[in-house]
Structure 1
Amino acid sequence: MFDSRTVIETSASAHGRQAAGDRQPVTLRWLTLACLLLGSSAVVAQDKPTLNNLDSRLDRVERIMDQSLLEQLQRIDSLQQEIRGLRGEIESLNYEIDTLTRRNSDLYADTDRRITDLEEARDSLDLLAGEDGLGSGLLDETAGVGLDETASEPAGVFVAEDGVAVPFANDADFGDGPRPPTGALRDTATQAEKAGYTRAYDLLARGQNDSAVASFDDFLTKYPDGPYSDNAWYWQGEAMYAQRKFDDALRNFGVVVNSFPDSTKVPDARLKIGFALYEQGEYLQARTILTGVQEDYPGRSAAVLARKRLQKMDREGL
């Protein structure tokens, strides 16, 4: 790099050489000095940044920053889309979990109901099982069952339980239909009797409740004191309950409880009395009867169903 000091020293050196007898022409010396000054000015001009250079550099910096910012914004937008997608998946999973929870609850309730139905069907099949496929199971279950022949009231009258009045049925409530037995039950059944019971039960099993009620009416009118009588009264009550004829169902279940105290259908009949009272809005009486079923038959399906209905009543504040 050249500066003024260098030029002066060079000039002085040139004069010194002239004084020593250097014979270079004056014009050549001045040309040399001018070249040196021009070179020095060019170097100085290169070292100082110009406004155009600064603008160019600033433009490059801005382009770099704009590109980086654009990339960051694109990345943020992509992350937001992923977050929205994850939220959607979470909501979908929560919905599926809720659906599975409800489905499991429904399956549990349905399984419990099916178990109860199977137990009831098993009892009925036991009644129909035997050497010829009919009769002997019923005969074993009803052996020794009898009633006081001197009873002045119909055997279907309900009795009070733990001091709580329950629905009362008198003779008029049976209308033109069959009456409960007033004497000892027979312990054998004819083939016609077995076939009549099977026919009525099959109608009920197929969901033909109206026909089942009529068929059980015919059966009980013909065979009021037979070994199938308690089951016929119970299953006819079930058909009436399915029809939501709760008064008639209460009458039939009461016949089972009072006229057949040793029947295997008593726990279920008491349970259905509680259910029917619940459907009629008689919550206090329903609670009393269901509590009795739960306490008297621990481990039985009737006790389990009674407990579940009591829990439902607690949740409903009844």
Structure 2
Amino acid sequence: MRQEMMEMRGQLEEQAFRIEQLQQESRDRYLDLDERMSRLNGQGHSGGKGESSSVAVLQPPILNTSVANPSEKRDQSVLKAEEAAYQSAFSLIRSKQFDDAKEALQQQLKAYPEGRYADNAYYWLGEVDMAQGRYDEARDSFQVVLSDFPKSSKVPDASYKLGRVYDLLGNQKKAKELLESVIKQYPESAASRLSDTYLRTMGGS
């Protein structure tokens, strides 16, 4: 059941990332269009530098791409490479090749230690280790999510899993503290509902 839950959460996570990417692309297109309209309306007849800017805006997309900032191109290339590495590791998790998945996630973090998917990679390292009974290692990975990525969307889930890990390690006091904090800080989250259920199995309130 644990492995099936991991697979389901993985699928949901992938869908969430796709939605996030589409939303970001939509926002980027809107901002780009807004900027172009502003230039056309405010600078189209100003001459000099303003006029040159308006002409550049009217160039075909292929020409705009050719003069794009090289650093932006590199950033996009790195992001795509990191995403490919992350998705590859995810495929290994879905196929239950946990040892290979762990190695792939570690390689991803080595190559992109501060990348966009770093928090997720640490989270799934924790999941993989937890599924295989490596609770000390799972604890360390979940803790990194909380310590190094406090604004990550994975924090509620990592907190819940960390609470479970502490329970499995025999530290019920720490486990309850974490689970109760999830309920208090993220009351509308799935992690909160899971924390409440788990606390009940521990005899908590």
What TM-score do you get using the length of structure 2 for normalisation?
0.66
Partner of 1:124: 14
1:255 maps to a residue whose letter is V
Q: Deviations over 1:169-197 (max 9, x none)?
A: xxxxxxxxxxxxxxxxxx85433222111
**Is the CA contact (8 Å cut-off) linking 1:126 and 1:137 kept in structure 2?**
no
Structure 1 residues 266 and 120: CA distance shift in structure 2, 3 A: farther
Matches within 5 A, 1:237-316: 237-314=126-203
Structure 1 residues 205 and 191: CA distance shift in structure 2, 3 A: same
**Is the CA contact (8 Å cut-off) linking 1:126 and 1:138 kept in structure 2?**
no
Partner of 2:34: none
Looking at structure 2, the residues matched to 138 and 259 of structure 1 have their Cα atoms a distance apart, in angstroms, of 25
Looking at structure 2, the residues matched to 207 and 225 of structure 1 have their Cα atoms a distance apart, in angstroms, of 26
Q: Does residue 1:192 correspond to 2:192, yes or no?
A: no
Partner of 2:98: 209
**Is the CA contact (8 Å cut-off) linking 2:90 and 2:101 kept in structure 1?**
yes
Structure 1 residues 276 and 292: CA distance shift in structure 2, 3 A: same
CA drift at 1:137:
6.2
Matches within 5 A, 1:11-30: none
1:290 maps to a residue whose letter is L
Looking at structure 2, the residues matched to 217 and 301 of structure 1 have their Cα atoms a distance apart, in angstroms, of 27
**Is the CA contact (8 Å cut-off) linking 1:273 and 1:289 kept in structure 2?**
yes
Partner of 1:100: none
Partner of 1:230: 119
CA drift at 1:210:
0.8
Unaligned runs of 5+ in 1: 1-109, 141-186
Looking at structure 1, the residues matched to 183 and 7 of structure 2 have their Cα atoms a distance apart, in angstroms, of 18
* Residue correspondences, number: 153
**Is the CA contact (8 Å cut-off) linking 1:197 and 1:219 kept in structure 2?**
yes
Unaligned runs of 5+ in 2: 26-74
CA drift at 1:124:
2.9
Q: Does residue 1:136 correspond to 2:21, yes or no?
A: yes
Larger Cα Rg: Structure 1 or Structure 2? 1
Q: Which structure dedicates a bigger proportion of its chain to helix?
A: 2
Looking at structure 2, the residues matched to 194 and 292 of structure 1 have their Cα atoms a distance apart, in angstroms, of 31
What TM-score do you get using the length of structure 1 for normalisation?
0.44
Looking at structure 1, the residues matched to 193 and 162 of structure 2 have their Cα atoms a distance apart, in angstroms, of 15
Q: Deviations over 1:61-113 (max 9, x none)?
A: xxxxxxxxxxxxxxxxxxxxxxxxxxxxxxxxxxxxxxxxxxxxxxxxx7xx8
| Alignment root-mean-square deviation, CA | 2.7
Q: Deviations over 1:110-150 (max 9, x none)?
A: 7xx85x864553223332x27xxxx826979xxxxxxxxxx
Partner of 1:11: none
Looking at structure 2, the residues matched to 295 and 218 of structure 1 have their Cα atoms a distance apart, in angstroms, of 35
Task: State, as a whole percentage, how many aligned pairs show the same letter.
Answer: 32
Q: In structure 2, the residue corresponding to 1:238 is in which secondary structure? A: helix
1:272 maps to a residue whose letter is K
